[in-house]
Amino acid sequence: MPKLTPNLWFDQNGMEAAEYYVSVFPNSKINRVSHYGDANPDRKGTVLTVDFELDGQPYTIINGGPQFSFDEAVSFVIDCADQGEVDAYWDRLVGDGGQEGPCGWLKDKYGLSWQVVPRGAVELVTDPDPARADRAMKAMFGMKKLDLAALSAAADGA
C-alpha cells in the first residue's frame, strides 16, 4: 500500500505551525521546506510547503492562502499511554492558545482538531456489557479532558 501523508492547508503561517507541532511531539522533525518562486510573484520567497514528521508519521503543510480553514470534520487522535500523557498533551495544546472541546476533543491555536485519548477509554465505552458501556459513555459526555479513572469508576457504577 502506498504511504499516506496528511496535507494540511494553512493561509501563511505553516512554518510556524510545523515548528510548533515538532516541539509538542517527541521524535519529530522538519524534513524539507520549499518556497514560492517566480511563478507566484506576490508570494515569492515565502514558505510554500513544509514536510515534517510527528513521531515518524509524515505530514505536509502548504501555505495556500485564506480560501480554506480547518473544522472538526477532520481530527487527529493522540493515543496516550496513561493519564499523565493525556494531561501533558491537553495542557500543551490548549494552554498555548487552544480551545477545549467535549469528550476529549480540542482545537489547537491554529484551529486543528485533536482527540486526546487515554488507552483503555475506547474499551470502556465499547464494553460488551451494554450497561457498563453506557455508564462510561455518559461520563465521557460530561467531560472535556478525558479522565480514565473517572471513566472506569463510572463504568463500574461507582
Structure-block grid coordinates of residue 64: 495556500
**Torsion sign across C-alpha atoms 139, 140, 142, 148:** positive
Name the pLDDT band for 97 (thresholds 50, 70, 90).
very high
> Does residue 154 contact residue 135 with C-beta atoms inside 8 Å?
yes
What global pTM score does this model have? 0.92
pLDDT tens digit string along 31-56? Answer: 999 999 999 999 999 999 999 999 99
Residue 96: per-residue pLDDT: 87
Residues across the chain: 158
